[in-house]
Structure 1
Amino acid sequence: MLKIHHLGHSQSERIVWLCEELGIPYELQKYTRDPVTRLSPPELKALHPLGAAPLIEVDGMLLAESAAIVDFILARYGRGRLRHGPEHPDFAAYLYWFHFANGNLQPVMLRSMTVGRCGLAPDHPVRTSALERLDKVFSLLDARLAQNDYLAGSEFSAADIMSVFSLTTMRVFYPVDLEPYPNIRVYLQRIGGRPAYQRAMAKGDPDLTPMLT
Protein backbone atom coordinates (compact mmCIF):
# COMPACT_ATOMS: atom_id res chain seq x y z
CA MET A 1 0.00 0.00 0.00
CA LEU A 2 1.07 3.55 -0.68
CA LYS A 3 2.29 5.34 2.44
CA ILE A 4 2.24 9.14 2.66
CA HIS A 5 4.57 10.89 5.08
CA HIS A 6 2.60 14.06 5.69
CA LEU A 7 3.92 17.16 7.46
CA GLY A 8 1.07 19.26 8.78
CA HIS A 9 0.51 22.61 7.09
CA SER A 10 2.73 21.78 4.13
CA GLN A 11 2.72 21.01 0.44
CA SER A 12 2.16 17.35 1.27
CA GLU A 13 -1.56 18.15 1.51
CA ARG A 14 -1.43 17.88 -2.29
CA ILE A 15 -0.69 14.17 -2.09
CA VAL A 16 -3.42 13.36 0.42
CA TRP A 17 -5.89 15.30 -1.74
CA LEU A 18 -4.78 13.55 -4.94
CA CYS A 19 -5.27 10.13 -3.38
CA GLU A 20 -8.72 11.12 -2.16
CA GLU A 21 -9.67 12.36 -5.65
CA LEU A 22 -8.48 9.12 -7.22
CA GLY A 23 -10.05 6.97 -4.52
CA ILE A 24 -6.90 4.92 -3.97
CA PRO A 25 -6.02 3.37 -0.58
CA TYR A 26 -3.12 4.85 1.35
CA GLU A 27 -1.59 4.89 4.80
CA LEU A 28 -1.12 8.32 6.34
CA GLN A 29 1.84 8.95 8.64
CA LYS A 30 1.50 12.44 10.13
CA TYR A 31 4.20 14.71 11.49
CA THR A 32 3.94 18.03 13.32
CA ARG A 33 6.16 21.07 12.81
CA ASP A 34 8.44 22.19 15.61
CA PRO A 35 6.42 24.82 17.53
CA VAL A 36 9.37 27.25 17.63
CA THR A 37 11.22 26.81 14.34
CA ARG A 38 8.18 25.65 12.32
CA LEU A 39 10.50 23.11 10.66
CA SER A 40 10.21 19.34 10.26
CA PRO A 41 10.63 17.12 13.33
CA PRO A 42 13.67 14.80 13.63
CA GLU A 43 11.56 11.75 12.68
CA LEU A 44 10.86 13.19 9.25
CA LYS A 45 14.38 14.51 8.78
CA ALA A 46 15.66 10.99 9.39
CA LEU A 47 13.83 9.77 6.29
CA HIS A 48 15.29 12.22 3.78
CA PRO A 49 18.40 14.44 3.79
CA LEU A 50 16.34 17.59 3.20
CA GLY A 51 13.89 16.75 5.96
CA ALA A 52 11.01 17.91 3.81
CA ALA A 53 7.55 16.65 2.99
CA PRO A 54 5.84 15.16 1.14
CA LEU A 55 7.43 11.78 0.94
CA ILE A 56 5.80 8.56 -0.20
CA GLU A 57 6.81 4.96 0.31
CA VAL A 58 5.74 2.25 -2.09
CA ASP A 59 7.29 -1.15 -2.82
CA GLY A 60 10.34 -0.29 -0.71
CA MET A 61 10.98 2.94 -2.61
CA LEU A 62 11.00 6.41 -1.06
CA LEU A 63 10.11 9.35 -3.32
CA ALA A 64 10.20 13.07 -2.52
CA GLU A 65 9.16 16.29 -4.33
CA SER A 66 5.44 16.90 -4.62
CA ALA A 67 5.35 17.33 -8.41
CA ALA A 68 7.30 14.12 -8.93
CA ILE A 69 5.00 12.31 -6.51
CA VAL A 70 1.89 13.59 -8.26
CA ASP A 71 3.26 12.45 -11.63
CA PHE A 72 4.18 9.06 -10.18
CA ILE A 73 0.77 8.48 -8.63
CA LEU A 74 -1.07 9.57 -11.77
CA ALA A 75 1.08 7.31 -13.95
CA ARG A 76 0.75 4.32 -11.67
CA TYR A 77 -2.80 4.64 -10.33
CA GLY A 78 -4.54 7.38 -12.30
CA ARG A 79 -5.80 5.42 -15.32
CA GLY A 80 -5.82 8.65 -17.33
CA ARG A 81 -7.68 10.67 -14.71
CA LEU A 82 -6.82 14.22 -13.60
CA ARG A 83 -4.28 14.88 -16.34
CA HIS A 84 -4.40 15.68 -20.04
CA GLY A 85 -2.45 13.69 -22.61
CA PRO A 86 -0.92 15.01 -25.84
CA GLU A 87 -4.17 14.42 -27.73
CA HIS A 88 -6.18 16.68 -25.43
CA PRO A 89 -6.81 20.24 -26.69
CA ASP A 90 -5.78 21.62 -23.28
CA PHE A 91 -2.58 19.56 -23.02
CA ALA A 92 -0.27 22.59 -23.23
CA ALA A 93 -2.37 24.53 -20.71
CA TYR A 94 -2.29 21.57 -18.34
CA LEU A 95 1.50 21.35 -18.51
CA TYR A 96 1.93 25.09 -18.07
CA TRP A 97 -0.28 25.44 -15.01
CA PHE A 98 0.92 22.19 -13.46
CA HIS A 99 4.49 23.49 -13.49
CA PHE A 100 3.50 27.10 -12.77
CA ALA A 101 2.70 26.09 -9.19
CA ASN A 102 6.26 25.23 -8.18
CA GLY A 103 7.99 27.17 -10.95
CA ASN A 104 6.42 30.58 -10.31
CA LEU A 105 3.62 30.78 -7.77
CA GLN A 106 5.25 29.18 -4.74
CA PRO A 107 8.76 30.65 -5.31
CA VAL A 108 7.34 34.15 -5.76
CA MET A 109 5.38 33.85 -2.52
CA LEU A 110 8.45 32.56 -0.68
CA ARG A 111 10.60 35.37 -2.04
CA SER A 112 8.06 37.99 -1.06
CA MET A 113 7.75 36.47 2.43
CA THR A 114 11.53 36.42 2.89
CA VAL A 115 11.98 39.99 1.68
CA GLY A 116 9.15 41.11 3.95
CA ARG A 117 10.94 39.68 6.98
CA CYS A 118 14.21 41.49 6.26
CA GLY A 119 13.09 44.77 7.80
CA LEU A 120 13.36 46.77 4.60
CA ALA A 121 11.59 50.10 4.28
CA PRO A 122 8.20 49.90 2.48
CA ASP A 123 9.62 51.82 -0.50
CA HIS A 124 12.86 49.83 -0.75
CA PRO A 125 13.28 48.74 -4.41
CA VAL A 126 13.85 45.10 -3.47
CA ARG A 127 10.64 45.02 -1.45
CA THR A 128 8.56 46.85 -4.07
CA SER A 129 9.95 44.60 -6.81
CA ALA A 130 8.97 41.47 -4.87
CA LEU A 131 5.44 42.77 -4.28
CA GLU A 132 5.05 43.80 -7.92
CA ARG A 133 6.06 40.33 -9.05
CA LEU A 134 3.64 38.78 -6.58
CA ASP A 135 0.81 40.90 -7.95
CA LYS A 136 1.71 39.94 -11.53
CA VAL A 137 1.53 36.25 -10.67
CA PHE A 138 -1.78 36.57 -8.83
CA SER A 139 -3.22 38.78 -11.58
CA LEU A 140 -2.24 36.18 -14.19
CA LEU A 141 -4.01 33.49 -12.18
CA ASP A 142 -7.04 35.70 -11.73
CA ALA A 143 -7.24 36.43 -15.46
CA ARG A 144 -7.00 32.72 -16.27
CA LEU A 145 -9.79 31.91 -13.83
CA ALA A 146 -11.98 34.63 -15.30
CA GLN A 147 -12.07 32.54 -18.48
CA ASN A 148 -12.01 28.99 -17.11
CA ASP A 149 -13.45 27.15 -14.13
CA TYR A 150 -10.14 25.38 -13.59
CA LEU A 151 -6.54 26.13 -14.46
CA ALA A 152 -6.19 23.63 -17.30
CA GLY A 153 -9.58 24.56 -18.77
CA SER A 154 -13.08 23.37 -18.04
CA GLU A 155 -11.96 20.19 -16.23
CA PHE A 156 -10.51 19.82 -12.76
CA SER A 157 -7.01 18.38 -12.96
CA ALA A 158 -3.75 17.84 -11.12
CA ALA A 159 -2.77 21.38 -12.14
CA ASP A 160 -5.34 22.57 -9.60
CA ILE A 161 -4.08 20.16 -6.95
CA MET A 162 -0.58 21.56 -7.42
CA SER A 163 -1.67 25.21 -7.13
CA VAL A 164 -4.21 25.36 -4.32
CA PHE A 165 -1.72 24.97 -1.45
CA SER A 166 -0.07 28.28 -2.35
CA LEU A 167 -3.44 30.02 -2.52
CA THR A 168 -4.65 28.65 0.81
CA THR A 169 -2.36 27.02 3.38
CA MET A 170 0.71 29.03 2.33
CA ARG A 171 -1.19 32.12 3.45
CA VAL A 172 -0.92 30.83 7.04
CA PHE A 173 2.80 31.62 6.76
CA TYR A 174 2.51 34.63 4.45
CA PRO A 175 -0.88 36.39 4.42
CA VAL A 176 -2.01 37.63 1.04
CA ASP A 177 -5.20 39.64 0.65
CA LEU A 178 -7.26 38.08 -2.14
CA GLU A 179 -9.74 40.97 -2.32
CA PRO A 180 -8.14 42.31 -5.55
CA TYR A 181 -8.46 38.88 -7.19
CA PRO A 182 -12.18 38.01 -7.28
CA ASN A 183 -11.85 35.12 -9.70
CA ILE A 184 -9.33 33.36 -7.46
CA ARG A 185 -11.78 33.72 -4.58
CA VAL A 186 -14.62 32.18 -6.61
CA TYR A 187 -12.27 29.40 -7.71
CA LEU A 188 -11.30 28.60 -4.12
CA GLN A 189 -14.96 28.34 -3.15
CA ARG A 190 -15.41 25.89 -6.02
CA ILE A 191 -12.42 23.87 -4.81
CA GLY A 192 -13.64 23.96 -1.22
CA GLY A 193 -16.88 22.31 -2.28
CA ARG A 194 -15.11 19.21 -3.56
CA PRO A 195 -15.73 16.26 -1.20
CA ALA A 196 -12.25 14.85 -1.83
CA TYR A 197 -10.65 18.16 -0.81
CA GLN A 198 -12.77 18.28 2.32
CA ARG A 199 -11.82 14.70 3.24
CA ALA A 200 -8.13 15.32 2.59
CA MET A 201 -7.97 18.43 4.76
CA ALA A 202 -9.96 16.76 7.54
CA LYS A 203 -7.62 13.77 7.57
CA GLY A 204 -4.31 15.54 7.05
CA ASP A 205 -4.83 18.87 8.82
CA PRO A 206 -7.89 18.66 11.07
CA ASP A 207 -6.65 21.65 13.10
CA LEU A 208 -6.58 23.91 10.05
CA THR A 209 -9.57 25.72 8.57
CA PRO A 210 -8.87 25.98 4.83
CA MET A 211 -8.33 29.59 3.77
CA LEU A 212 -10.80 29.71 0.92
CA THR A 213 -11.53 33.46 0.95
Structure 2
Amino acid sequence: MIIVHHLNNSRSQRVLWLLEELGLDYEIKRYERDPKTMLAPPDLREVHPLGKSPVITDEGLTIAESGAIIEYLVDRYGNGRLSPAHGTPERLRYTYWMHYAEGSAMPPLLLKLVFDRIEKGPMPFIVKPVAKAIAQRAKRSFIEPQINRHLDYLENEIGHTKWFAGKSFSAADIQMSFPLEAAAARGGLNATRPKLMDFLDRIHKRPAYKRALERGGAYELG
Protein backbone atom coordinates (compact mmCIF):
# COMPACT_ATOMS: atom_id res chain seq x y z
CA MET A 1 0.00 0.00 0.00
CA ILE A 2 1.26 3.46 -0.91
CA ILE A 3 1.43 5.77 2.10
CA VAL A 4 1.59 9.52 1.50
CA HIS A 5 3.15 11.45 4.36
CA HIS A 6 1.00 14.51 3.79
CA LEU A 7 1.83 17.96 5.15
CA ASN A 8 -0.94 20.53 5.00
CA ASN A 9 -0.52 23.35 2.45
CA SER A 10 2.42 21.72 0.75
CA ARG A 11 3.66 20.07 -2.40
CA SER A 12 2.28 16.75 -1.22
CA GLN A 13 -1.16 17.84 -2.43
CA ARG A 14 -0.09 17.27 -6.02
CA VAL A 15 1.03 13.73 -5.12
CA LEU A 16 -2.50 13.02 -3.90
CA TRP A 17 -3.81 14.48 -7.15
CA LEU A 18 -1.56 12.19 -9.23
CA LEU A 19 -2.69 9.15 -7.25
CA GLU A 20 -6.30 10.08 -7.91
CA GLU A 21 -5.60 10.56 -11.63
CA LEU A 22 -4.04 7.08 -11.72
CA GLY A 23 -6.88 5.56 -9.70
CA LEU A 24 -4.50 4.02 -7.14
CA ASP A 25 -5.29 2.99 -3.60
CA TYR A 26 -3.31 4.85 -0.97
CA GLU A 27 -3.31 5.89 2.65
CA ILE A 28 -2.60 9.32 4.08
CA LYS A 29 -0.56 9.97 7.20
CA ARG A 30 -1.18 13.59 8.16
CA TYR A 31 1.24 16.16 9.53
CA GLU A 32 0.43 19.76 10.48
CA ARG A 33 2.67 22.79 10.19
CA ASP A 34 3.57 24.79 13.27
CA PRO A 35 1.07 27.69 13.15
CA LYS A 36 3.74 30.23 14.14
CA THR A 37 6.78 29.12 12.15
CA MET A 38 4.87 27.28 9.37
CA LEU A 39 7.57 24.59 9.54
CA ALA A 40 6.90 20.87 9.30
CA PRO A 41 6.72 18.96 12.60
CA PRO A 42 9.82 17.11 13.85
CA ASP A 43 8.21 13.68 13.49
CA LEU A 44 8.50 13.93 9.70
CA ARG A 45 12.23 13.37 10.22
CA GLU A 46 11.38 9.87 11.37
CA VAL A 47 10.25 9.18 7.81
CA HIS A 48 13.01 11.05 5.98
CA PRO A 49 16.08 12.75 7.51
CA LEU A 50 15.26 16.15 5.98
CA GLY A 51 11.84 16.20 7.59
CA LYS A 52 10.10 17.61 4.53
CA SER A 53 7.03 16.72 2.53
CA PRO A 54 6.11 15.10 0.23
CA VAL A 55 7.42 11.69 1.10
CA ILE A 56 5.84 8.39 0.16
CA THR A 57 6.53 4.85 1.27
CA ASP A 58 5.74 1.95 -1.02
CA GLU A 59 6.76 -1.70 -0.68
CA GLY A 60 9.70 -0.92 1.59
CA LEU A 61 10.84 2.11 -0.40
CA THR A 62 10.93 5.65 0.94
CA ILE A 63 10.86 8.28 -1.79
CA ALA A 64 11.13 12.05 -1.34
CA GLU A 65 11.06 15.06 -3.69
CA SER A 66 7.95 15.81 -5.74
CA GLY A 67 9.54 15.18 -9.11
CA ALA A 68 11.08 11.87 -8.06
CA ILE A 69 7.80 10.72 -6.51
CA ILE A 70 5.79 11.64 -9.58
CA GLU A 71 8.23 9.93 -11.94
CA TYR A 72 8.29 6.82 -9.75
CA LEU A 73 4.50 6.54 -9.60
CA VAL A 74 4.00 7.17 -13.32
CA ASP A 75 6.76 4.71 -14.29
CA ARG A 76 5.61 2.00 -11.88
CA TYR A 77 1.86 2.31 -12.06
CA GLY A 78 1.02 4.48 -15.03
CA ASN A 79 0.99 1.79 -17.74
CA GLY A 80 1.69 4.47 -20.34
CA ARG A 81 -0.71 7.01 -18.85
CA LEU A 82 0.21 10.62 -18.05
CA SER A 83 3.59 10.59 -19.80
CA PRO A 84 4.43 10.97 -23.50
CA ALA A 85 6.22 8.20 -25.33
CA HIS A 86 10.01 8.14 -25.14
CA GLY A 87 11.81 9.64 -28.11
CA THR A 88 9.06 12.14 -28.94
CA PRO A 89 9.24 15.96 -28.80
CA GLU A 90 6.46 15.82 -26.20
CA ARG A 91 8.64 13.62 -23.98
CA LEU A 92 11.42 16.17 -24.12
CA ARG A 93 9.01 18.93 -23.08
CA TYR A 94 7.63 16.66 -20.37
CA THR A 95 11.10 16.09 -18.91
CA TYR A 96 11.92 19.79 -19.13
CA TRP A 97 8.82 20.92 -17.21
CA MET A 98 9.26 18.20 -14.61
CA HIS A 99 12.64 19.74 -13.72
CA TYR A 100 11.78 23.38 -14.41
CA ALA A 101 8.98 23.47 -11.83
CA GLU A 102 11.27 23.15 -8.83
CA GLY A 103 14.62 24.05 -10.39
CA SER A 104 13.65 27.38 -11.94
CA ALA A 105 10.08 28.42 -11.14
CA MET A 106 10.00 27.90 -7.38
CA PRO A 107 13.23 29.64 -6.17
CA PRO A 108 12.08 33.24 -6.81
CA LEU A 109 8.64 32.46 -5.36
CA LEU A 110 10.28 31.04 -2.26
CA LEU A 111 12.49 34.13 -1.98
CA LYS A 112 9.43 36.33 -2.16
CA LEU A 113 7.77 34.35 0.62
CA VAL A 114 10.86 34.74 2.82
CA PHE A 115 11.23 38.47 2.19
CA ASP A 116 7.51 39.06 2.67
CA ARG A 117 7.84 37.51 6.12
CA ILE A 118 10.92 39.58 6.90
CA GLU A 119 9.06 42.72 5.89
CA LYS A 120 5.92 41.95 7.86
CA GLY A 121 7.22 39.82 10.71
CA PRO A 122 7.76 40.90 14.32
CA MET A 123 11.19 42.23 15.27
CA PRO A 124 12.73 44.84 17.58
CA PHE A 125 11.47 48.36 16.79
CA ILE A 126 14.94 49.75 16.25
CA VAL A 127 15.79 47.37 13.39
CA LYS A 128 12.34 47.05 11.80
CA PRO A 129 12.66 50.07 9.42
CA VAL A 130 16.03 48.83 8.16
CA ALA A 131 14.85 45.24 7.68
CA LYS A 132 11.68 46.42 5.96
CA ALA A 133 13.64 48.66 3.58
CA ILE A 134 16.08 45.87 2.69
CA ALA A 135 13.23 43.41 2.07
CA GLN A 136 11.34 45.86 -0.13
CA ARG A 137 14.42 46.71 -2.15
CA ALA A 138 15.31 43.03 -2.66
CA LYS A 139 11.81 42.28 -3.88
CA ARG A 140 11.54 45.32 -6.12
CA SER A 141 14.99 45.11 -7.69
CA PHE A 142 15.45 41.35 -8.10
CA ILE A 143 12.75 38.97 -6.88
CA GLU A 144 9.63 40.45 -8.47
CA PRO A 145 11.32 41.06 -11.87
CA GLN A 146 12.44 37.42 -11.85
CA ILE A 147 8.94 36.18 -11.08
CA ASN A 148 7.49 38.35 -13.83
CA ARG A 149 10.04 37.06 -16.32
CA HIS A 150 9.09 33.47 -15.53
CA LEU A 151 5.37 34.21 -15.72
CA ASP A 152 5.77 35.93 -19.08
CA TYR A 153 7.73 32.93 -20.33
CA LEU A 154 5.12 30.47 -19.09
CA GLU A 155 2.23 32.49 -20.52
CA ASN A 156 3.89 32.30 -23.92
CA GLU A 157 4.74 28.59 -23.65
CA ILE A 158 1.31 27.40 -22.54
CA GLY A 159 -0.12 29.43 -25.40
CA HIS A 160 1.46 27.07 -27.93
CA THR A 161 -0.22 23.90 -26.64
CA LYS A 162 -3.18 23.06 -24.44
CA TRP A 163 -0.97 21.44 -21.79
CA PHE A 164 2.68 21.87 -20.88
CA ALA A 165 4.01 18.76 -22.62
CA GLY A 166 1.71 19.00 -25.61
CA LYS A 167 -1.93 18.44 -26.51
CA SER A 168 -2.54 15.84 -23.80
CA PHE A 169 -2.68 16.28 -20.04
CA SER A 170 0.34 14.71 -18.33
CA ALA A 171 2.12 14.44 -15.00
CA ALA A 172 4.16 17.49 -16.04
CA ASP A 173 1.00 19.54 -15.58
CA ILE A 174 0.63 18.15 -12.08
CA GLN A 175 4.24 19.06 -11.33
CA MET A 176 3.79 22.56 -12.74
CA SER A 177 0.60 23.17 -10.78
CA PHE A 178 2.33 24.04 -7.51
CA PRO A 179 4.50 26.96 -8.71
CA LEU A 180 1.55 28.38 -10.64
CA GLU A 181 -0.79 28.10 -7.68
CA ALA A 182 1.88 29.68 -5.49
CA ALA A 183 2.28 32.47 -8.04
CA ALA A 184 -1.47 33.07 -8.04
CA ALA A 185 -1.51 33.18 -4.24
CA ARG A 186 1.49 35.41 -3.65
CA GLY A 187 3.48 36.02 -6.83
CA GLY A 188 1.29 38.36 -8.85
CA LEU A 189 -0.26 35.86 -11.26
CA ASN A 190 -3.68 37.22 -12.22
CA ALA A 191 -5.99 37.89 -15.16
CA THR A 192 -3.27 39.85 -16.97
CA ARG A 193 -1.94 36.42 -17.97
CA PRO A 194 -5.15 34.75 -19.18
CA LYS A 195 -3.59 31.56 -20.54
CA LEU A 196 -2.03 30.66 -17.20
CA MET A 197 -5.23 31.52 -15.38
CA ASP A 198 -7.11 29.30 -17.83
CA PHE A 199 -4.68 26.48 -17.08
CA LEU A 200 -5.39 26.82 -13.36
CA ASP A 201 -9.11 26.90 -13.99
CA ARG A 202 -8.93 23.74 -16.08
CA ILE A 203 -6.95 21.75 -13.54
CA HIS A 204 -9.20 22.87 -10.70
CA LYS A 205 -12.18 21.44 -12.59
CA ARG A 206 -10.65 17.98 -12.98
CA PRO A 207 -12.52 15.39 -10.90
CA ALA A 208 -9.26 13.86 -9.65
CA TYR A 209 -8.05 17.27 -8.45
CA LYS A 210 -11.29 17.74 -6.51
CA ARG A 211 -11.06 14.26 -4.99
CA ALA A 212 -7.49 14.97 -3.87
CA LEU A 213 -8.66 18.13 -2.11
CA GLU A 214 -11.43 16.20 -0.39
CA ARG A 215 -8.93 13.68 0.94
CA GLY A 216 -6.03 16.04 1.59
CA GLY A 217 -7.95 18.86 3.25
CA ALA A 218 -7.58 22.63 3.09
CA TYR A 219 -5.00 23.86 0.60
CA GLU A 220 -4.00 27.48 1.07
CA LEU A 221 -0.74 28.91 -0.23
CA GLY A 222 -1.29 32.58 0.60
TM-score when scaled to structure 2? 0.86
String of CA shifts for 1:22-49, please: whole Å, max 9, x gaps.
0011111111111111111122232222
Displacement of 1:86 in angstroms is: 2.1
Residue of structure 2 equivalent to 1:154: 167
Please state whether the residue corresponding to 1:149 is helix, strand or coil. coil
Of 180-189 and 80-89, more deviation after overlay is shown by 80-89
Given that residues 31 and 41 in structure 1 are in contact (C-alpha distance below 8 angstroms), is that contact kept between their aligned partners in structure 2? Answer: yes
Match of 2:202 among 183, 190, 211: 190
Displacement of 1:84 in angstroms is: 1.5
> For residues 62 and 123 of structure 1, do their structure 2 counterparts lie closer, same or farther at Cα, with a shift above 3 Å needed?
closer
Residue of structure 2 equivalent to 1:83: 83
Of 68-77 and 40-49, more deviation after overlay is shown by 40-49
Aligned alpha-carbon RMSD (Å): 2.2
String of CA shifts for 1:110-146, please: whole Å, max 9, x gaps.
1233344442358736632211110010111111122
String of CA shifts for 1:134-167, please: whole Å, max 9, x gaps.
0010111111122221111111111110011122
Given that residues 3 and 28 in structure 1 are in contact (C-alpha distance below 8 angstroms), is that contact kept between their aligned partners in structure 2? Answer: yes
1:96-175 matched pairs, under 5 angstroms: 96-118=96-118, 119-120=132-133, 124=137, 127-169=140-182, 172=185, 174-175=186-187
> For residues 71 and 204 of structure 1, do their structure 2 counterparts lie closer, same or farther at Cα, with a shift above 3 Å needed?
same
TM-score when scaled to structure 1? 0.89
- Hey, what's the Cα distance between the residues in 2 that align with 1:180 and 1:113? 21
Stretches of structure 2 lacking an aligned partner (at least 5 in a row): 119-131
- Hey, what's the Cα distance between the residues in 1 that align with 2:151 and 2:183? 14
Stretches of structure 1 lacking an aligned partner (at least 5 in a row): none
Displacement of 1:210 in angstroms is: 8.8
> For residues 208 and 91 of structure 1, do their structure 2 counterparts lie closer, same or farther at Cα, with a shift above 3 Å needed?
closer
Please state whether the residue corresponding to 1:4 is helix, strand or coil. strand
Please state whether the residue corresponding to 1:120 is helix, strand or coil. helix
Q: From the two aligned structures, give the one with the greater helix fraction.
A: 2
Given that residues 6 and 30 in structure 2 are in contact (C-alpha distance below 8 angstroms), is that contact kept between their aligned partners in structure 1? Answer: yes
Aligned length: 209
String of CA shifts for 1:154-183, please: whole Å, max 9, x gaps.
1111111001112225655x3534232111
Given that residues 9 and 220 in structure 2 are in contact (C-alpha distance below 8 angstroms), is that contact kept between their aligned partners in structure 1? Answer: no
- Hey, what's the Cα distance between the residues in 2 that align with 1:39 and 1:30? 14
